[in-house]
Each structure stands twice: as structure tokens, then as C-alpha cells.
Amino acid sequence: MKRVNLLILGLAVCAVINIPQTIQAQSALNLENPVAAQTVAKSYTQANPLDMVASPNRYLNKYVKIRAKFDKFSTLGLDYEPAMRSSEDYISFLIQRSDSPSHNIPLSEMKIFMKRTEAEKHIELDSGDEIEFCGKVFSTALGDVWMDVDKFTVLTVKAPKEKADKTDSSAK
């Protein structure tokens, strides 16, 4: 109720002092949904994970977008006091190093966290699936990159070869 009253009061004041309607609309957005207003303000910069782990301090408090190959979900970095993300609410995941294309080596120097509720939507991901994610580097504890994920997108999924092989052999 207080938000509605504040919104009405804000609009009345804007009308009296003749502020342009675009500013009025933005003020209404901020009062009704502060999370949406923050999301609008974020600007993500494309980043290379190897550059990030080489210079983590350069990316501290920056919003970045990364395209990579998924490796696996993990508990790496969870519940570590200096960069706390609770294992009850978060899960971490690893991406593959892009500097060794013939081997699947995880980039463990990046601690990447997403809400468990979001991770559960992508539980079917396999190592090598291409993903894109956006988020904020919130810490450089231990000289590593610690990042919260805001957006997560699966770009391509590898053909489920192993699953097809198991199905074929069980049918025989």
C-alpha cells in the first residue's frame, strides 16, 4: 500500500513540476519493481575466461558475458567465508578451458555460481554443451574469479551419443 501511495505522490509531484513523462515512467518502474530497474541498468561486456583468470582484479565488480563449453555442475567454492555463497541456495559449475581443445579440462580458477532453482532447469547438460552466461564478478578471493550468474542460456547441446548407444544395446 505504501508503494502505491508513494507512486501516486511521485506522479502528482512530477505533474506539478512538469518533468517529462519518460522520467515519470522510469520512477514508476523503480517503485514497483526495483529488481527490474537494476536489470535494465546492467551492461554486460563480452569477456574471455582465460583473460579473466589471468587478471581477476581487472574484472572485479564488472558485469561480463561469457560464451563457453559447459563442463559440469560442482560444489567448488561453496560455503567459503571470504566469498560466501551458501550450498543451500547456490550450486557452482565449471566451464572447459578453451586453450586445450583436444582435452576436456575444467577451468577451476573460475568459481561460477547460480541459484539452485535455475540450475535445476539445466540438469540435463553434458560436458561439451555450449552455453552463454552473464553475471557479476563479486570477488577475487584466493586470486581467483568469483562470479554470480544473472542470465544462463544453453546455445547448443551435443548429440546424446552415449544415451543412444545404451538404448540400442538394451533393446537387443
Tell me the pairing of strands 130-139 and 90-95.
unpaired
Q: How confident is the model at residue 100 (pLDDT cuts 50, 70, 90)?
A: confident
pLDDT value of residue 160: 63
pLDDT value of residue 148: 98
Q: What cell does 34 get?
A: 526495483
Q: Write out the H or E segment, with its range, that includes residue 41.
A: helix 34-41
pLDDT value of residue 34: 54
Percent of the chain whose predicted confidence (pLDDT) is above 90:
63
- Each residue's pLDDT tens digit, 138-160: 999 999 999 999 999 999 988 66
63: closest CA among 114, 125, 134? 134
Angle (nearest 5°) at CA 129 between 124 and 134: 95
Q: What residue ranges do the domains of the chain occupy?
A: 2-41, 45-156
Interatomic CA distance for residues 111 and 91, integer angstroms: 10
Architecture of domain 45-156: Beta Barrel (2.40)
Phi/psi for 110 (5° steps) reads: -105, 120
CB 144 within 8 A of CB 56: yes
CA 58 to chain centre: 18
* Whether residue 134 has pLDDT greater than 70: yes
* Whether residue 94 has pLDDT greater than 50: yes
* Total residues found in the chain within this entry: 172
Mean predicted lDDT score pLDDT of the chain: 81
Q: What is the pTM of this model?
A: 0.69
The stretches of 42-108 forming alpha helices (DSSP H) are 49-54, 56-59
The more confident residue out of 158 and 84 is 84
Q: How confident is the model at residue 167 (pLDDT cuts 50, 70, 90)?
A: low
CA 46 to chain centre: 13
Count CA within 13 A, CB hemisphere, residue 3.
8
- Of the ranges 14-18, 25-29, 97-101, 126-130, which is most confident? 126-130
Percent of the chain whose predicted confidence (pLDDT) is above 70:
68
